[in-house]
Amino acid sequence: MTLPNPERPIMELRVAVTTSDYDRLVKFYCEGLGIEPTAIWSNGQGKGLVLDMGKATLEIFDEAQAEIVDGLEAGKRVSGPIRFALQVPNLDAAIERFLAHGAVLVHEPVLTPWGDRNVRMQDPDGMQITLYEAARLVSR
């Protein structure tokens, strides 16, 4: 549990994804990322869970910046208004896991101008996902 800190008015970022195929998307993210839920609930009418995705940030792009990033990672403008970007310790292993669990490869991995290795994928519901290995972890 994170203790309140008046210097940090936001304690946690949660992104809520709604899907028509709950079990498929849970399996995709849990097995595809190799993580277990930190909380699971069912109230008899609906189901939900929480996945600890590590440190969270919120990026806000204008259309021009989104086009630059999509161009680098996917070759053209393809993402919608929301795209996940997940840092992983081993990009090749993460790609294999995601593909094995129903991801669609949007574009092959690229080396970004800032030195990260990124790949653009899509989850079974069509959410655009960037998996990236930070420059300090990329072996050259």
DSSP 57: -
Residue closest to 127 by CA, chosen among 89, 79, 86: 79
Domain that residue 92 falls in:
63-133
- Crossing angle for the helix pair 91-100 and 22-33, to the nearest 10 degrees: 150
pLDDT in tens, 97-125: 999 999 999 999 999 999 999 999 999 99
Q: Calculate mean pLDDT across residues 27-51.
A: 94
pTM of the model: 0.85
Please report where in the chains the tokens 């498929």 appear, as a residue. Answer: 24
- For residues 125-137, give the mean pLDDT: 91
Domain-located, residue 114: yes
Q: Measured between alpha carbons, how far is 56 from 62 in angstroms, rounded to an integer? A: 20
Read off the pLDDT band of 9 (50, 70, 90): confident
User: What average pLDDT does range 2-28 have in this prediction?
Assistant: 86
Residue 74 lies in a domain: yes
Domain count, the chain: 1
Coil, strand or helix: which one is 87?
strand
What is the CATH classification number for the domain harbouring 117?
Answer: 3.10.180.10
